[in-house]
């Protein structure tokens, strides 16, 4: 079951999405043309006077690394996607730039007056890696509003209680006897340990919260001392220490110790951006919110699998869901490139210079092309991202790997570079 196809009339007015079969029929009869490949959109060759499109609802499940997107027509889920952010990539790039600039300042002997004391951040300032998540989600909501008659937005407004995650033993009438306190800790552990047993990697079985350093030997309930284990491993470990239990598996022992100390970056990123994202979406369309517990309850009651797009469809008040599509569009943020004038080595010295000309033979790196090689060693058909070379021999990055040295004469562009890569 594929995503529905977005439809515009000749005046670029959004109409109700149609099934892939109906879209294929319109294209075959030449009543419509392809406007955009990702998301797949067709444009009619005639105007539709006074259309009465169905009012659709877009639902979002914002996350630190992935955001689930679902477009619903009442109870029918007609279009889904998973948006992969690049916040950590932005953070690493900024840290790399900072270290290179700092090393250059130290190498130069002239005095550089300190300027950091003059700078003041605006109220509500967010780091670029966090602001990126808000801007990309906002971009895709506006894009969907351009291609479909979206009437409202629903998003999951979840808050991770980092104090409770770090110290579940906090008191005060048992933290006001909150019903989601244990749920928050368990959900965090499920994400942290990949929803599988930490000791045998078993998946799809009931998992138990287990103390890495046994509580009988002084272990605490801090989240850094908690892991997920299947019943068999939990019983087998008992009150043994982690070093004694895994003394024959040193690599797993080191991995568990390293992963147990991983910080709460994902939870902090969601907490920092949730209200800013809500206000940004509220300026586009009427926006409602739902809690994380409500999303999980809906998904469990409807017996649906745990994925980002399913969570998005289950946000808010849900009585019933008809999954008319189960093939999400995988959207990965790649950015528009870099502004560096030259590439540097690890010491900050230039090793290659930037090519001023970006367009070669009508292509530039990041375009998606359909390739039909008719001669040579690479005969076949490919679809993938183009890596341009000024010689005219491009590399094609496909799902199965990279095809190197393909002439531009065999390439036909199907989607211009827009800062994202796409897959199903």
The DSSP string of 92-103 is HHHHHHHHHHHH
14, 60: one domain:
no
Residue at 424 is within a domain: no
CATH number for 301: 3.30.420.10
Rg for the chain (alpha carbons), in Å?
26
Q: Is residue 270 part of a domain?
A: yes
Contact in structure between 3 and 325 (CB atoms under 8 Å): yes
Domain that holds residue 202: 162-260
Q: Is the residue at 117 inside a domain?
A: no
| 156 vs 270: which has the higher pLDDT | 156
Which pLDDT score is estimated for 174?
41
pLDDT, position 153: 95
Per-residue pLDDT at 178 exceeds 60: no
Write down the pLDDT at residue 254: 87
Do residues 202 and 250 share a domain? yes
- DSSP assignment of 170-195: --SHHHHH-TTHHHHHHHHHHHHTTT
Shared domain check, 195 and 182: yes
Tokens of 381: 């058909």
Burial 102-131 (b: 16+ CB within 10 A, else e): eeeeeeeeeeeeeeeeeeeeeeeebeebbb
Q: At residue 72, does pLDDT exceed 80?
A: yes
Give the residue-averaged pLDDT of 304-313: 93
If asked whether residues 386 and 256 sit together in one domain, one would say no
Instruction: Give the DSSP H/E element, type plus range, for residue 90.
Output: helix 87-107
CA distances from residue 275 to 67, 82, 91, 270 in whole angstroms, order as listed: 16, 21, 21, 9
Give the pLDDT of residue 156.
92
pLDDT at 215 over 50: yes
Instruction: Count Cα atoms within 13 angstroms, Cβ side, for 306.
Output: 10
Same domain, 155 and 61: yes
| Residue 211's CATH number | 3.40.1800
Task: Give residue 129's pLDDT band: very low, low, confident or very high (50, 70, 90).
Answer: very high
Q: What is the pLDDT of residue 369?
A: 93
Same domain, 80 and 142: yes
- Looking at per-residue confidence, does 202 or 170 come out higher? 202
Whether the predicted pLDDT of 418 surpasses 80: yes
Domain contains 251: yes
Q: Tell me the pLDDT band of 128, cut-offs 50, 70 and 90.
A: very high
Q: Does the pLDDT value for residue 164 go beyond 60? A: no
Tell me, what's the pLDDT at 257? Answer: 83
Instruction: Please give the average per-residue pLDDT across 1-19, as a whole number.
Output: 93
**Mean pLDDT over each residue of the chain, to the nearest integer:** 86
Asked if 142 and 198 sit in the same domain, the reply is: no
Total H helices, total E strands in the chain: 12, 21
Whether the CB-CB separation of 4 and 14 falls below 8 Å is answered with no
pLDDT in tens, 30-64: 999 999 999 999 999 999 988 877 889 999 999 88
pLDDT beyond 80 at 409? yes
> 250 and 271: one domain?
no
Query: How many other CB atoms are there within 10 angstroms of residue 388's CB atom?
Result: 23
Which pLDDT belongs to residue 84? 95
How much is the pLDDT for 113? 66
Residues above pLDDT 70, as percent of the chain: 90
Among residues 419, 402, 338, which one has the least CA distance to residue 83? 419
The mean pLDDT value for 138-167 works out to: 82
Q: State residue 165's pLDDT score.
A: 53
Angle CA(398)–CA(41)–CA(78) in degrees, nearest 5?
95
Number of neighbouring beta carbons within 10 Å of residue 45: 12
Task: Count how many domains the chain has.
Answer: 4
Quote the CA–CA distance of 63 and 58 in Å, as a whole number.
16
Short-list 254, 236, 257, CA closest to 245: 236
- 70 has which bridge partners? 59, 80
Mark whether 154 and 280 lie in a shared domain: yes
Using CA atoms, how far apart are residues 10 and 44, in angstroms rounded to an integer? 5
Higher pLDDT, 384 or 348: 384
Q: 210 and 189 in one domain?
A: yes
Kindly state the percentage of the chain with pLDDT values over 90. Answer: 45
Q: Helices in 108-161 by DSSP H: which ranges?
A: 128-147
What is the average per-residue pLDDT within 344-349? 79
Q: Are residues 146 and 215 in the same domain?
A: no
Q: What is the mean pLDDT of residues 366-375?
A: 90
Asked if pLDDT for residue 176 goes beyond 50, the answer is no
Q: Check residue 180 and give its pLDDT.
A: 44
H or E stretch covering 301: helix 292-301
Q: Cβ neighbours of residue 363 under 8 Å, at least 6 residues apart? A: 369, 386, 388, 394, 408, 411, 413
Look at residues 196, 228, 260 and tell me which one is the last residue of a structural domain.
260
CA distance 377 to 101: 46
Question: Does position 106 have pLDDT exceeding 80, yes or no?
Answer: no
Cα separation, 43 vs 31, in Å, equals: 9
Q: How confident is the model at residue 66 (pLDDT cuts 50, 70, 90)?
A: very high
Distance between CA 219 and CA 216 in Å, rounded? 7
Whole-model pTM: value is 0.77
Residue 174 lies in a domain: yes
- Reply yes or no on whether the pLDDT at 173 is more than 60: no
Q: Are residues 359 and 285 in the same domain?
A: no
pLDDT at 168: 57
């Amino acid at each position: 079951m594929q995503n529905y196809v977005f439809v515009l009339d000749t005046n670029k007015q959004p109409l109700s999405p149609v099934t892939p079969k109906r879209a294929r029929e319109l294209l075959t009869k030449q009543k419509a043309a392809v406007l955009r490949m990702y998301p797949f959109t067709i444009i009619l060759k005639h105007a539709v006077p006074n259309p009465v499109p169905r009012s659709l609802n877009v639902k979002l499940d914002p996350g630190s690394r992935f955001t689930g997107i679902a477009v619903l027509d009442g109870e029918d889920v007609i279009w889904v996607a998973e948006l992969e952010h690049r916040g950590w990539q932005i953070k690493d790039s900024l840290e790399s730039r900072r270290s290179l600039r700092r090393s250059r300042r130290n190498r130069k002997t002239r005095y550089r007056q300190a300027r950091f004391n003059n700078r003041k951040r605006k109220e509500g300032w967010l780091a670029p890696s966090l602001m990126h998540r808000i801007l990309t989600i906002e971009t895709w909501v506006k894009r969907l509003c351009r291609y479909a008659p979206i009437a409202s937005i629903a998003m999951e407004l979840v808050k991770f209680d980092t104090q409770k995650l770090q110290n579940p033993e906090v008191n005060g009438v048992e933290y006001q006897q909150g019903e989601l306190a244990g749920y928050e800790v368990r959900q965090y552990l499920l994400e942290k340990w990949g929803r599988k047993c930490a000791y045998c990697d078993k998946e799809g079985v009931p998992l138990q919260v287990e103390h890495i350093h046994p509580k009988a030997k002084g272990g605490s309930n801090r989240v850094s001392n908690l892991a997920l284990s299947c019943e068999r491993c939990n019983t087998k470990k008992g009150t043994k220490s982690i070093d004694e239990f895994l003394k024959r598996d040193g690599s797993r022992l080191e991995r568990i110790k390293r992963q147990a100390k991983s910080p709460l970056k994902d939870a902090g990123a969601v907490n920092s951006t949730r209200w800013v994202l809500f206000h940004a979406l509220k300026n586009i369309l009427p926006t409602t919110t739902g809690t994380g517990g409500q999303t999980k309850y809906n998904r469990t009651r409807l017996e649906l699998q745990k994925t980002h797009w399913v969570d998005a469809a289950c946000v808010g008040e849900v009585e019933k869901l008809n999954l008319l599509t189960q093939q999400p569009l995988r959207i990965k943020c790649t950015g528009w490139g870099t502004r560096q004038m030259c590439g540097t080595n690890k010491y900050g010295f230039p090793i290659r210079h930037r090519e001023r000309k970006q367009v070669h033979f009508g292509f530039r790196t990041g375009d998606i092309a359909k390739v039909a090689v008719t001669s040579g060693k690479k005969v076949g058909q490919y679809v993938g991202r183009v890596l341009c070379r000024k010689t005219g021999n491009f590399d094609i990055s496909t799902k199965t790997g990279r095809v190197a040295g393909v002439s531009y004469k065999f390439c036909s562009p199907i989607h211009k570079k827009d800062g994202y890569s796409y897959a199903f």
